[in-house]
Amino acid sequence: MTSADDLISLVRDYNPKTNEARLRDAYAFGEEMHGGQFRHSGEAYFTHPVAVAAILTEQRLDDATIITALLHDTIEDTKASYEVVAARFGEEVAMLVDGVTKLTNLQLSSRETKQAENFRKLFMAMSKDLRVILVKLADRLHNMRTIRAMRPEKQAQKARETMDIYAPLAGRMGMQWMREELEDLAFKVLNPEGRQSIIRRFVTLQRETGDVIHRITGDMRGELEKAGIEAEVFGRAKKPYSIWRKMQEKDQGFSRLSDIYGFRVITRTEEDCYRTLGTIHQRWRAVPGRFKDYISQPKSNGYRSIHTTVSGRDGKRVEVQIRTRQMHDVAESGVAAHWSYRDGVRTENPFAVDPAKWIASLTEQFDGEDDHDEFLEAVKLEMYSDQVFCFTPKGDVIKLPKGATPIDFAYAIHTRIGHACVGGKVDGIRVPLWTRLRNGQSVEVITAEGQTPQVSWLEIATTGKARTAIRRALREADRERFVKLGHELARSAFEHVNKKATDKALETAARALRVSDVTELLARLGAAVITAHDVVQAVYPELTAKDGDEVSPRRAVIGLEPGQKFERAACCEPLPGERIIGITSRGHGVVVHTADCDRLGEFEDQMDRWVDVHWHSGTHPAVYSVTLELTIGNDAGVLGRICTLIGEKKANISNLEFKDRKPDFYRLMINVELRDVEQLHSLILTLEAESHVAAVARYRERPGAQHRTI
């Protein structure tokens, strides 16, 4: 375990003005609080907080963050309280330790809905002080480095959580080295055979070709010296997981991968970066399409560098990154560079981003996502995204994730522009909206008055901002449609009991059903969240009660054993008046089918399950749902007329769903509640006589439908 003196020495190397007494006190306090506690490996537990603090010294972070690392588990796992930590080390440290504790308690790998909510909490904690997530990332890194002491199932759970959440988050924050190590450590747990095969192939390749990295590094240094450029050159083989991911993405074997080596050139000035680029391209052939200039167009987390890929020795492709020392510091530390110290003072790095602005830009677009799954999708899209830079016709730069389309470009400019988008031009040429944009392209958005977002845009858009705006607009449009449909359903249902759907009646129903207002009531009715029967019953319960001489739905079928229940088969939806056959079903009593149902053929060799049943001969209540498939003209008032006709036939609409929308016709499914087969035939004849109804039929088969219990 790193001693207090050794840890203080690590901090003093970059911050000679560090408060050694305060660090030593935190070390002693943490050691005392964790006394008698042990890790799964058998080591003293305090070795973990010390290791986390040591990781953060590599980022040259301030004293408060180092102290937080030493104490990050004290409030959660020891007798220390927030008040004790605040009194001894100050409110700043106590708040940071408390923030890390809350992050630790988030179960980010749980079910999707809960995971989305925990992501919200994670971003809230980050927005208060980003150092909280820096400590948490270092905590996760050390836990992954020592994960072998945990149970196999716990290893797998932590590795998946790391791969899905913490590694991409580290990358989004600009800490690429940490992302790569976290991914590789998780890869080692989740797919040890795959990782080992990559390592074996590396060993074989090195045996066949020798030390390629040493040779290419030497070549680059020689060329730069000849050009009079002072620079440092480093080379490395890429991490096993990085290579594995490339193999999966490109569907190529290891032997066909070319850019498995990466080289970094650190120059003194920005001008030298471009001179270095020219020198490298003169000496080696550049690979088309593999050049990115993040110096002129930096990433949102402050990352600046020139990326190029060239064909090196023996035609091997190598990736080269070129940057200055200050750029390199930000590239290594990402957003953490804001807190970095050098020679006892906060580093004045012009490329370090303001963490508050960075986290605000990251979370702004998620605020409008009410749906958990949509929020989670938007977060992951942003965390995993790489960036491309495109230009407006005026020359303004728009940053977008890799794979973005003109739709994303339009919404990046303004939501209003996105809503009105009808097309786009890329470099002056009209292109489809699903075109993938590339670096450096000039994009012009074509708009038109009256255009509204289309459902198909959700398959085209890739950015969280665009998808959020599209969904919100579609929901608003659907709401208007649902309100209109709900009004027709309510009118028909009230007429069914010889009443009118007045504003007062609807207000009474809204209060009874605990809905905020009439508009919301109608929207829920139109969206089939509540039924028209529920609305009418809320106002006139005495009119919706079943007559005493009606057959109870529980006793509607004759031939069942005492206490035996039945269900109507969803495939044929039998009605009173039709010949029926019962099939015994484990856990469902008897499932009743029409005698001509095609599904009965499946039970021909199981005659012991067949039950001879028939409908009660009495009057049945209108509670048996049947699905009708209609094709109707797309004209004003047609749907209202259909609802009226159904109401006039004393049938109740329980659900309505549009299946296909064309400019001239709509195809829709309507669930109506009926008494018997005679009422069904009468209703179909009435609808067939309507001039705007092109086709109407009973829908008899719905794959995957659930049985309804009576």
Indicate which residues carry an active-site annotation: 76-77
Whether the CB-CB separation of 318 and 216 falls below 8 Å is answered with yes
Helix (H, G, I), strand (E, B) or coil at 505: helix
d(CA 415, CA 488): 33
Closest by CA to 318, choosing from 195, 438, 219, 184, is 219
Other beta carbons within 10 angstroms of residue 28's beta carbon come to 12
Q: Which residues pair with 361 in a beta bridge?
A: none
At 395, list the tokens: 């020359």
d(CA 603, CA 599): 8
At 396, list the tokens: 């303004």
Whether the CB-CB separation of 708 and 568 falls below 8 Å is answered with yes
d(CA 380, CA 119): 10
At 301, list the tokens: 């987390």
What is the residue whose two structure tokens read 């008055």? 449
**In sequence order, what are the residues at sequence separation of 6 or more whose Cβ sits closer than 8 angstroms to the Cβ of residue 531?**
525, 652, 654, 655
Whether the CB-CB separation of 567 and 589 falls below 8 Å is answered with yes
CA 118 to chain centre: 12
**In sequence order, what are the residues at sequence separation of 6 or more whose Cβ sits closer than 8 angstroms to the Cβ of residue 264?**
233, 234, 235, 320, 321, 322, 323, 328
At 626, list the tokens: 């049947």
What letter would DSSP give residue 289? Answer: T
d(CA 313, CA 311): 7
Whether the CB-CB separation of 459 and 474 falls below 8 Å is answered with no
Other beta carbons within 10 angstroms of residue 331's beta carbon come to 25
As to burial, measured by CB atoms within 10 angstroms (0-12 exposed, 13-18 middle, 19+ buried), residue 250 is exposed
At 299, list the tokens: 């990433």
DSSP H or E run through 199: helix 192-209
Q: How many helices (H) and strands (E) does the chain have?
A: 29, 24
**CA dihedral of 267, 268, 274, 278, whole degrees rounded to 10:** -60
As to burial, measured by CB atoms within 10 angstroms (0-12 exposed, 13-18 middle, 19+ buried), residue 444 is middle
d(CA 700, CA 629): 10
Helix (H, G, I), strand (E, B) or coil at 480: helix
Beta strands in 338-404, from DSSP E residues, in sequence order: 341-342, 345-346, 387-391, 397-401
Closest by CA to 485, choosing from 635, 631, 629, 640, is 640
What is the residue whose two structure tokens read 């305060």? 22
Alpha helices, DSSP H only, in 232-364?
240-250, 270-283, 325-333, 355-364
Q: What is the CA radius of gyration of the chain?
A: 34
d(CA 78, CA 593): 64
What is the residue whose two structure tokens read 């490109």? 250
For 73-128, give the secondary structure using H, E and C. Answer: CHHHHCCCCHHHHHHHHCHHHHHHHHHHHHHHCCCCCCCHHHHHHHHHHHHHHHHH
Helices 176-190, 325-333: inter-axial angle, 10-degree rounding? 40
Beta strands in 492-613, from DSSP E residues, in sequence order: 557-558, 566-568, 580-585, 589-594, 610-611
